[in-house]
Structure 1
Amino acid sequence: MSGARAAGRGRDLAALPKAHLHLHFTGSMRHTTLVELADRHGVALPDALRSAWPPRLSAADERGWFRFQRLYDTARSVLRTEDDVRRLVREAAEDERAEGSGWLELQVDPSGYAARFGGITAFTDLVLDAAAQASAATGVGTALVVAANRTRHPLDARTLARLAARYAGRGVVGFGLSNDERRGRTEDFAPAFAIARRAGLLSDPHGGELLGAASARAVLEQLGAQRLGHGVRAVEDPALLERIAARGVVLEVCPASNVALGVWPTPADVPLRTLRRAGVEVALGADDPLLFGARLVDQYVLAREHHGLDDAALADLARSSVTGSCAPSDVRERLLAGIDAWLAAPAPAPGPEPAPERGPARRG
């Protein structure tokens, strides 16, 4: 996809100022970096992460999700030293700068790296220091969303929430819940989110992707979601969609990963226009570019090429990413002014109409 990433019928999408709100830590790694670090540290990579990259994935059943998670765990295992971590964060910020992103909220579960880096606190310190260095070097503000894992015990989530709370205002801006949403009971994680909210952190769980609208409703009601990772299946419940719009909950929609994981059959089926017609704020995200082969600008290309969104609509998506972020006010103002300037520039002629949207590939 990346060959025509910023090309097309309208303005240069890599020049559109934006924020990136849905990017996972290991999943942000460049493929070239993955291969280089694997070779350096003697990590055997499967063909799906080397010669046959990007892998063919599906999460329509638990076996498919297990394969996805196994590939992710293999990729995570190449991070062996502090320099590896700093490189990943620096390169993520460099990639964001190249794609017009001026603010990045990187989602990370410190417990997945604790054993190798001296515990969850030491690892969080390392990533925050790396983020500060990357921000200074690139000009891209970089903050963390600490995320608990649905497949682990809810008490582990409380531990992570207390960790995140300690760093509130010092580089950690939110608390999330990720991994297979078919696992664990949402209500069991409510105490962890209460800890995070009391510390002033944004509530940013995943939901409404692998399962239907009920999953999105659960994280809204039980976890107090202020932003929602994915949430695309909320279109199956018009009343819920209306509620999301009324509450101003921003959906972090990741079109390329939705298709790769089998949530929707093709890019044209991801319900971007349905969400916009319902008045829902949408911020496009890349999720895990390392596994899906598509970075942030690619998501805007999909919106343009498969949904027929013109530059004004794409600018609206970029605005939602900024206003839905935890960026400081001066960063928001700068990015919003840049979006206005981008839209005021001359534009090429528009192209053909998109294909109609269809339903999801399957129901959870």
Structure 2
Amino acid sequence: MEAPTVSPHPARPRSAPDRREDAAVASRPARPDVALLPKAHLHLHFTGSMRHSTLVELAATHGVVLPDALVEDWPPRLRATDERGWFRFQRLYDIARSVLRTPDDLRRLLRETAEDEAAEGSGWLEIQVDPSGYAARFGGLTPTVELVLDAARGASEATGVGIGVVIAANRTKHPLDAKTLARLAVRYAGRGVVGFGLSNDERRGRAYDFEGAFRIAKRGGLLSAPHGGELLGPASVRECLENLDADRLGHGVRAVEDPRLLERIVERGVTLEVCPASNVSLGVAATAADVPVRRLYEAGASIALGADDPLLFGSRLARQYDLVRGEHGFTDAELADLARQSVRASAAPDDVRARLLSGITAWLS
């Protein structure tokens, strides 16, 4: 008969204070799920919203060979703070976009994106698309915009998530191309297009070069939502404010480097579309704790958290709320405030706003 095994380090008897602490932790109510918090999603790119499983399936269907970074090594390791890193990021994005070959592919992307948004608590989505990236495949700029808008309407009807479209110009292209897109966007203002943006590497196209395009968009009643203050510092943000009359800034986190500029952002009520996971993936911040969400929030800035490109960064909208809760200590009341700010900065219709704001209050209580 074997002798019973005796641990060389017997467990320390639990003291009365220990037991009381354990009981307190066990009885502490769980914090509400951020995926159930109603919110608006204002910073999401079209191709970047695709599900990874859909990317792999469409690539197989259309005979597109994907690099390991988009298959076995997904999500890819990225860093865009230098030219080579941005080139790799853009190359992966372009490969992903190449699997969208048919109108049904675009419809599927938007339907699945809306389904994912609903699961994340998003009741209103503003998705950003540069139609020139798809125009050759879908019959030109105007047919592409009409296809995207029709797909957005279908996705909204199927899921209950309201969808607005932000037409985006590309910083690496000529400003005259941006003017063409701005006129096209204005043509569909009130019919699904809600804003005009400016994307791609901000180091390769100055904001002031696109002033004419944004003037056209603003006169046509569209929100001005350029990217700025991500890979470049306060000067890039300032150009977006002064030259593009920005209502919202894609990212804008580098504004913390200039207190007077940040004060101006607060005074003007410009909303910053902050994307924590994206900032870390691209090397803008070393960790999620280094993204200056708390500093921006306590300075009084309006913030709308965004996922940017879930296909490449591996996380969607609710994860961004989890990150600021865990890394920056945001209370439930502060998370609710962020959600309200996202709704108020959106182009959502009044009835959608009212429903989401009411839901935020219910979530908090």
Q: Normalization by structure 1: what TM-score?
A: 0.92
Q: CA deviation at 1:9?
A: 5.4
What is the SS of the residue equivalent to 2:108? Answer: helix
What is the SS of the residue equivalent to 1:243? Answer: helix
What is the SS of the residue equivalent to 2:167? Answer: strand
User: Counterpart in 1 of 2:283?
Assistant: 262
User: Counterpart in 2 of 1:334?
Assistant: 355
What is the SS of the residue equivalent to 1:327? Answer: coil
Match of 2:266 among 221, 245, 252: 245
User: Counterpart in 1 of 2:314?
Assistant: 293
Q: CA deviation at 1:213?
A: 1.0
Q: Residue 74 in 1 paired to residue 134 in 2?
A: no
Distance in 2, Cα, partners of 1:204 & 1:124: 18
Q: Does the C-alpha gap of structure 1 residues 13 and 44 become closer, same or farther in structure 2, counting only changes over 3 Å?
A: same
Q: Is the 8 A contact 1:58 1:262 kept in 2?
A: yes
User: Counterpart in 2 of 1:125?
Assistant: 146
User: Counterpart in 1 of 2:51?
Assistant: 30
Q: Is the 8 A contact 1:10 1:310 kept in 2?
A: no
User: Counterpart in 2 of 1:149?
Assistant: 170
Q: Among all aligned residue pairs of Structure 1 and Structure 2, give the percentage whose two residues are the same amino acid.
A: 74
Number of aligned residue pairs: 337
Q: Normalization by structure 2: what TM-score?
A: 0.92
User: Counterpart in 2 of 1:178?
Assistant: 199
User: Counterpart in 1 of 2:159?
Assistant: 138
**Higher RCO, 1 or 2 (CA under 8 Å, sep at least 6)?**
1
User: Counterpart in 2 of 1:234?
Assistant: 255
User: Counterpart in 1 of 2:328?
Assistant: 307
User: Counterpart in 2 of 1:112?
Assistant: 133
Unaligned runs of 5+ in 1: 1-7, 345-364
Match of 2:42 among 21, 30, 35: 21
Q: CA deviation at 1:27?
A: 0.1
What is the SS of the residue equivalent to 1:59? Answer: coil
Q: Is the 8 A contact 1:65 1:180 kept in 2?
A: yes
What is the SS of the residue equivalent to 2:125? Answer: strand
- AA aligned opposite 1:170: R
Match of 1:95 among 108, 116, 129: 116
Unaligned runs of 5+ in 2: 1-28
Q: Which has the larger radius of gyration?
A: 2
User: Counterpart in 2 of 1:343?
Assistant: 364
Q: CA deviation at 1:75?
A: 0.1
Q: CA deviation at 1:60?
A: 1.1
Distance in 1, Cα, partners of 2:153 & 2:92: 29
Match of 1:10 among 18, 31, 40: 31
Once superposed, which parts of structure 1, at least 4 consecutive aligned residues long, lie more than 4 Å away? none
Q: CA deviation at 1:185?
A: 2.2
Distance in 2, Cα, partners of 1:120 & 1:9: 49
- AA aligned opposite 2:165: L
- AA aligned opposite 1:325: S
Structure 1 residues 32-47: aligned runs within 5 Å? 32-47=53-68
What is the SS of the residue equivalent to 1:182? Answer: helix
Structure 1 residues 148-227: aligned runs within 5 Å? 148-227=169-248
Distance in 2, Cα, partners of 1:40 & 1:184: 36
Q: Is the 8 A contact 1:256 1:299 kept in 2?
A: yes
User: Counterpart in 2 of 1:56?
Assistant: 77
Q: Is the 8 A contact 1:207 1:231 kept in 2?
A: yes
Distance in 2, Cα, partners of 1:22 & 1:323: 14
User: Counterpart in 2 of 1:359?
Assistant: none
Q: Give deviations 1:251-279, integer Å, cap 9, x for gaps.
A: 00000000000001000000011001110
Distance in 1, Cα, partners of 2:285 & 2:81: 10
